[in-house]
Structure 1
């Protein structure tokens, strides 16, 4: 189950945009071998709101493109498919029958800016940011170089499998 909440008025949230992003989330979960029914909240914000959230939660007073708030705990350097593939979740992690993976906060304003900067479509940029965030919800990180070498190629593999390349 994917919940979307639009809290900005700078970029129109069309049915096409929501459809692409929902399909992207579902595809990334499938590619990462998540077989449980999951719950993810997708919040659309502008640069000012994401700056506030970034400052409040990370102590960084600047706008960013996407923030991820995972609900699952991961052991050192492990990701979902390594830790939870055959795990039975208790009520701590469930909302009814759904495994609560976490929240994605996406600045559509920043996604639009970056799509122009990187010379590809807004949809491709938003999808990339959502894949990036889903991987964070599943335990991936990119702070350490070793982790980045694992996460960055995985993002591109998922987007390529969806036929969302940098040229799109």
Structure 2
């Protein structure tokens, strides 16, 4: 997963410097709690991104510049519901989505949202020939 995340970060346009990425995989309950606490939204979501690149002087060696909380339950649901996806592909999509947010992409309005979706497709298409998503993220089950 480290190689996949490093390559995705480069493709997303993040700085090519020495920085740390922290990824936590959680279930619906933990994601709903994080979504309420950090974003102020009720219910679960697929990924929450914390990026500290906007203040690079506050970054200390060994501390993450990007933190992602990724919901495995959302990936299980969406991977099963989408004909062109899978559990593993959804997890990679959430990783890419969070990294793109860290690189300055936004999806809160129609124009930027279209750009974000295009960039997600570009990064996923570049990653697919290099990595076997299913072997990196074998399907398990809900974390609850």
Distance in 2 (CA, whole Å) between partners of 1:128 and 1:63 is 17
Q: Are the equivalent residues in 2 in contact too, given 1:24–1:131 (CA < 8 A)?
A: no
Q: What TM-score, normalized to structure 2?
A: 0.79
Unaligned runs of 5+ in 2: 135-144
Tell me the equivalent position of 1:41. 22
Distance in 2 (CA, whole Å) between partners of 1:38 and 1:112 is 30
Q: Are the equivalent residues in 2 in contact too, given 1:24–1:130 (CA < 8 A)?
A: no
1:119-130 equivalent positions in 2, closer than 5 A: 119=83, 120-130=85-95
Unaligned runs of 5+ in 1: 1-18, 75-88
- Cα RMSD of the aligned pairs, angstroms, is 2.0
Tell me the equivalent position of 1:136. 101
Tell me the equivalent position of 1:71. 52
1:150 shift after superposition: 1.9
1:146 shift after superposition: 2.0
| Segments of 4+ moved more than 6 angstroms | none
Q: Are the equivalent residues in 1 in contact too, given 2:14–2:103 (CA < 8 A)?
A: no
1:33 shift after superposition: 5.5
> Number of paired residues?
128
Tell me the equivalent position of 1:117. 81
Matched, 1:95 2:75: no
Partner deviation per Cα, 1:59-112 (whole Å, 9 max, x = no partner): 2110111111111228xxxxxxxxxxxxxx54x22325x7x4221001111111
Q: 1:33 and 1:136, CA in 2 relative to 1: closer, same or farther beyond 3 A?
A: closer
1:3-82 equivalent positions in 2, closer than 5 A: 19=1, 22-31=2-11, 32=13, 34-73=15-54
Partner deviation per Cα, 1:36-64 (whole Å, 9 max, x = no partner): 02201100110000001101112211011
Q: Are the equivalent residues in 1 in contact too, given 2:25–2:69 (CA < 8 A)?
A: yes
Distance in 1 (CA, whole Å) between partners of 2:91 and 2:21 is 16
